[in-house]
Structure 1
Amino acid sequence: PALPTSSLLIQATAMSSQQDASACSLPTEKVFSIQIGSELFRLSGASLASDAPSYFSRFFEEQMRLTDPSNVRTLYIDRDPATFREIARHLQGTADTRAASVPWINQGQGIIFGLKTERNLSNFSQTRSSTHIPRDIFSSPGDSPNFFTLGFGAFFASPSSVFPGLDRVGLLRPPSIVAPSVPNRSAEIFAEIIHLLRGYTLHIRDDDHRAALLRDCRYFHLRGLEQRLIRHHISLNPFTQRLEIIVGIEDVRPSGLQFANGSSEKATGALLKYARPFVDETASDLILEIGEDRTVFNRQMQRVNFFGQTKTRMESLVQVVGKKFNLSESQLESLPLKKRQRTGEADDGLVMIKTGQWRPILQQGENGKYSLVLLAVKVDAYTSQRHRNRERNFL
């Protein structure tokens, strides 16, 4: 007959305890004394073996080997009894009831004593709140190493590597440790980042909300999550049967740029493809989105000029494309920016582009030089100040 669920749980727990005890030579029925500050704790060999090897199991194993088992001395450690009470509950198999307000030292002390299962939770202080972080939450590509793994890695390493010269055998007072704290970041944004890292979706309210999430992702060095949060759109073009990705020029990373060197593109140029680092497995045809009123199209010269940071980003993009294509600077055609004074409302061939989506193509000209050609996919533009003023909003 099938066993009830409770019986299966008890059986699994017993098997786990037997496996843990096999790594420790302490007799399971014998009781060992540990004096922590002014309080005496008595733990059985089974409890000490549940998270062995540790500082405690090694100490009493050495005592059993060198002396008569009936004369095993008490282990004295000058630490806080209230803190060790949580460690004793852990060794006895009691469920972890520590709240987020429990100081991190209550968890870190067990780690210093070599308790392996105490390493699974990290505590992190964010402004006035404290958060438990599972260590496997950073398993996604690009999310490690980060602020947390680098900050806690030292505390979760062996005492010999964290504190050089520290002798575990004679350890009576482990060095004090504190949880990393970042008081100048938003606890609400951090909670949403942890929510996303756990695999849940999050409703991004507006551009300011997205910018705050991205800013803290960069601060904590969560590169994979950052790439998942950037503004983008991936779709299949039914006319070309190719995937296309729309990305803002400010979010393009050099490591994600690729070329589509198919036979069909040789006559028109090399299409640029893009895959978000750590996120996209396959690259899609790149469509750049450029906004902020930083683009001017000269209809007479058939050239696009940029202003401010957009110009700097485009120049950097041209340099990256040249390196990807193994082109020297002499083979690349620069992007000149010609400023012209406008007088009156006469049509002088300039179109101010508010927001535009462009398909970049690397093309070779008649002079043998390569230039980055932008094919307009969709633009929101105006040709005069009158049209621009119509779109102004009152404060």
Structure 2
Amino acid sequence: MSSAGSSNNPTPRAMSLSAGHPTPAAAAATPSPSMAAAHVNTNDGSTNNNTNNNTQGASNPLTAQLPQFPNTASRPSVSGLPPRPVHARDPVTAPRVTKPGVQMAARIPNILPHERVFPIQIGSELFKLSGASLSSDAPSYFSQYFQCQIKTAESNGEDINTSIRTLYIDRDPSTFRDISLHLQGYHVHPRDGTHFVRLFADAQFYSLPRLISQLYEESIFMSIGHREFQIPRDLFQDPGNLPNYFSLGFAIFFSSPDDLFPGLDREGLIRPPSILPPQVPGRSADIFAELLHLLRGYPVEIRSEEHRQALLRDCRYFNFKGLEQKLIPHALAYSQARQRHEITLRIEDVLKSGISVLSEPTLSDSLAGWVNYARPYVDDKAAELVLEIGAENTKLIFFPQQPQQPQTPVPQSAATASSVASSPFSGTGSGTGNQTGIRAEFFRDTKTRVARMFEVIATKLSLPPTTQPLGLLMSKGGASSQPPTPGNTPLSDDLVRVVLEPETAITLDGEPFPLPSTTNADGSVDLSSAAAGSSSNGEPSRKRRRVDYAALESGSASWVVKTGQWRLRIQAAKNGKSGVECVLVGVKLDAISSELGRNQQRGFL
């Protein structure tokens, strides 16, 4: 019953509307929104009553054309078998009568006469839509306007066929062509960002509630790096990736029906404002396409470290936290020797929300445990953490394994003393005191990161994050004003205790450095017995590198660790600030013992 056409010559009875608002003469005949709403309700009630009365009689043309099925209560008998009764839920035997005309009449409200054609001129094109099409998405500007025309004609006793005037609106006819398809029952899908914002603006302008609701559920149209992307909204439903750049930025204009254009003064507004399609010109379209590929569940090959950093940079820009945790450098493995899962991470990628402590008490140590880690939003179960620290930010200082008696210092020149103290390979460090064993000193940002990690571990162990008295902290400005150092935590001194096991893989000055197999009570290698054995063996074998354990045991050596991997062990402390301490257990180390070894590994530009 509905038809659509176009013509360049409007009818002589067309009313002129400027941007959708009637002229003063037409405004007098146009009812207010409250009157239009009341008129809509009156028509709905009267029409529904008439429809119900007509459907009860036999003269209803809809029911008269339906096929008449016999009202049989049983099937005919086959081969002498008695007839079987027909059940109401039998999908085969119970015939279902479909009444498409009645269903369509029930779906479309009777706001305007369904069989009547109403002319609407948008720009230079004339559209003719039936009352059923205009009533399918109502109340709208069209339904209220033509309701006013019909009511005025009825009150004046005029013929409705000759009193309906053409509605003229100065808008884009190509956009309204898609809106007319929507009114006629077709699904209209936005083609790109420009088409989306035009449909959205005109749907608001014409007050089409069903089209507005449909556009709210559409995909997100965004231009990234001058390339159009259509992003399904359910792609960001993962809790790790929500909220993000699109749910916070794109939703400003397209998610709140109560405030469609934030910050816009609607008083005196005769047309909707011009809306630009959302765009992010400063990001890479290729990188964003790979991020979408990852969000859909497909793998992406990391071509280089620069490629990984580009992906991570855009993940942080668009606030894809869950995807970022999947892309950070990591290694998941299962150790058959230790019978546990492991995760290797760089210290700069460790988040405090993923740190946990797994208690494993032994007969000799009831407080023993290991620090575990689970990537937020990604890992369901925590694994043992293997912490990687690089950039030559770690220095290993070898102290005597047994405390030595203080001796009278030998006088030396000021220049010699300053050179020894400033050398990174000397066996001294800041805050050494009466230290024993192997200690680690950290520099630059790594020192701060290690201190913050120890504070989190102390909190997990129900310990205070700092050991300084409250009065001293208040006099110095609080705990946040103190320098971040492991010595301010209850788990360590400024120099963190280190344990090197026989299984620790060490590369020193570019060559493998074997450790002795004899161990102490805490599992660390026994350098004293190894030093005594190496001095009594005499000439070493030609096929085996000579290892000077005596220098390490005497406390006169230190290493600069270029890159090291460590496990974090919790154990009882005998002489520490608290009853618990955190120890770094070496897994794999790449170290240099002197500036010569560092220069030998240098490369030319």
Q: CA deviation at 1:67?
A: 6.0
Written as runs of structure 1 = structure 2, the 5 A alignment for 1:16-95 is: 22=107, 24-25=109-110, 31-44=117-130, 52=137, 57-62=139-144, 68=150, 77-90=169-182, 92-93=185-186
Distance in 2 between residues matched to 1:48 and 1:349, nearest whole Å: 89
Q: CA deviation at 1:93?
A: 2.3
1:256 has 2:342 as partner: no
1:181 is matched with which residue? Answer: 279
1:239 is matched with which residue? Answer: 337
8 Å contact from structure 1 (residues 358, 374) kept in 2: yes
Q: Which structure features the higher share of strand residues?
A: 1
Q: CA deviation at 1:386?
A: 2.8
8 Å contact from structure 1 (residues 24, 57) kept in 2: no
Written as runs of structure 1 = structure 2, the 5 A alignment for 1:43-192 is: 43-44=129-130, 52=137, 57-62=139-144, 68=150, 77-90=169-182, 92-93=185-186, 96=189, 98-99=191-192, 102=194, 104-109=196-201, 112=204, 113-114=208-209, 115=211, 116-119=213-216, 120-163=218-261, 173-192=271-290
2:371 is matched with which residue? Answer: 272
8 Å contact from structure 1 (residues 143, 222) kept in 2: yes
Secondary structure in structure 1 of the residue aligned to 2:239: coil
- Segments of 5+ residues of structure 2 without an aligned counterpart are 1-98, 152-159, 400-436, 468-488, 497-550
8 Å contact from structure 1 (residues 258, 274) kept in 2: yes
8 Å contact from structure 2 (residues 192, 221) kept in 1: no
CA gap 1:61/1:248 in 2 versus in 1, 3 angstroms: same
1:11 is matched with which residue? Answer: none
Q: CA deviation at 1:220?
A: 0.9
Q: CA deviation at 1:337?
A: 6.0
Percent of aligned pairs sharing the same letter: 44
Distance in 2 between residues matched to 1:296 and 1:306, nearest whole Å: 6
8 Å contact from structure 1 (residues 127, 186) kept in 2: yes
Secondary structure in structure 2 of the residue aligned to 1:195: helix
Secondary structure in structure 1 of the residue aligned to 2:366: coil
Output one character per residue of 1:117-161: Cα deviation in whole Å (capped at 9) or x when no partner: 223122212232222222111122211111111111122224422
1:324 has 2:460 as partner: yes
Query: Size of the alignment, in residue pairs?
Result: 367
Q: CA deviation at 1:382?
A: 2.4
Written as runs of structure 1 = structure 2, the 5 A alignment for 1:370-385 is: 370-385=580-595
Q: CA deviation at 1:230?
A: 0.8
Distance in 1 between residues matched to 2:331 and 2:343, nearest whole Å: 5
1:306 is matched with which residue? Answer: 442
Output one character per residue of 1:185-215: Cα deviation in whole Å (capped at 9) or x when no partner: 2222122212222222111111111111111
Output one character per residue of 1:276-310: Cα deviation in whole Å (capped at 9) or x when no partner: 11111111111111122221112324111122222
Output one character per residue of 1:68-116: Cα deviation in whole Å (capped at 9) or x when no partner: 495776665443333333444455526647257x465235336645422
Tell me the TM-score normalized by structure 2: 0.54
Please tell me the residue identity of whatever aligns with 1:354: K
Q: CA RMSD in A?
A: 3.6
1:284 is matched with which residue? Answer: 383
Secondary structure in structure 2 of the residue aligned to 1:315: helix
- Segments of 5+ residues of structure 1 without an aligned counterpart are 1-13, 339-345
CA gap 1:28/1:188 in 2 versus in 1, 3 angstroms: farther
8 Å contact from structure 2 (residues 360, 368) kept in 1: no
Distance in 2 between residues matched to 1:150 and 1:21, nearest whole Å: 39
CA gap 1:35/1:160 in 2 versus in 1, 3 angstroms: farther
1:212 has 2:307 as partner: no
Tell me the TM-score normalized by structure 1: 0.79
Worse-superposed segment, 26-35 or 308-317? 26-35
1:7 is matched with which residue? Answer: none
8 Å contact from structure 2 (residues 492, 581) kept in 1: yes
8 Å contact from structure 2 (residues 134, 143) kept in 1: no
Larger Rg: 2
